[in-house]
Amino acid sequence: MKGPKHKLERIAESRLPTPFAEFRIAIYRSADGKEHVVVALGELSGEPPLIRIHSECLTGDALFSLRCDCGAQLQSALKRIAEEGRGAVLYLRQEGRGIGLGNKIRAYELQDRGADTVEANHQLGFPDDAREYSLAVELLRELGLCRIRLMTNNPRKLDALVRDGVEIVARVAIESGRNPYNEKYLDAKAAKLGHLLGSE
Ligand SMILES: Nc1nc2c(ncn2[C@@H]2O[C@H](COP(=O)(O)OP(=O)(O)OP(=O)(O)O)[C@@H](O)[C@H]2O)c(=O)[nH]1
């Protein structure tokens, strides 16, 4: 893997009982002050573990929003890891594909008026996806992981990690929880952001 770009400070670790399993939670602070989260289960060394690299979505992950697929994906990742008995969710604080919560809700206003998720970002002057994954690479390094099975439908995420030297031995499709409120969003992600939907 390429050399470190983010300096991560390990802040604390504790037990995290959930309806799925009793995980370990560890917090890492990046130089910009953001606190990123690793939720892990079992022994991660050895055979490539199942990993979910999840971007923060307050509305979907914590407030049950049906506008996106984030909450469904987070739950399904934790459940799947619990079933396997090992793996980790890396929860990155890059809300709204990197534009932040306030701007994401601005983008929702535009989507309420007919724009799709990509058009809304552009109308606000942002790229379609402002995230980058070097932080995830650094977290994987902290965990001693360079070979993983990655739960994702996002080819940009796969490419970015592979470019930075992470060996992805398998892509594991993750369900999107399609519903009447997120249909247009999912269709725009597939058509414009290249998400591999339908192969779930
Ligand atoms: N700007 C913007 N961000 C959104 C919108 N809906 C969800 N998000 C954010 O999108 C991010 C999740 O991105 P996705 O592309 O769904 O998921 P991903 O993790 O890249 O891809 P998968 O691994 O396949 O799930 C989270 O940060 C959400 O807050 C939206 O309409 N506009």
Residue 70's contacts (CB-CB under 8 Å, 6 or more residues apart) are 54, 55, 57, 59, 60, 61
Distance CA 93, CA 33 (A): 10
CATH 3.40.80.10 fits domain 9-94+131-192: no
Is residue 7 over pLDDT 90? no
ipTM: 0.96
pLDDT at residue 194, as a whole number: 87
Is residue 76 over pLDDT 90? yes
- Asked if residue 96 has its Cβ within 6 Å of ligand 1, the reply is yes
Residue 128 among the catalytic residues: no
153: exposed, middle or buried (Cβ count in 10 Å: 0-12, 13-18, 19+): buried
- Asked if residue 99 has its Cβ within 6 Å of ligand 1, the reply is yes
Residue to substitute in 53, 55, 105 for testing ligand 1 pocket (most ligand atoms within 8 angstroms of CB): 55
Of the listed ranges 107-111, 165-169, 173-177, the least confidently predicted one is 173-177
Q: What is the pTM of this model?
A: 0.95
What count of other Cβ atoms lies within 10 Å of the Cβ of residue 157?
Answer: 20
Percentage of residues in the chain having pLDDT higher than 90:
91
Q: CA angle, corner 99, sides to 96 and 105, nearest 5?
A: 60
Residue 32 among the catalytic residues: no
- Asked if residue 182 has its Cβ within 6 Å of ligand 1, the reply is no
Domain boundaries, the chain: 9-94+131-192
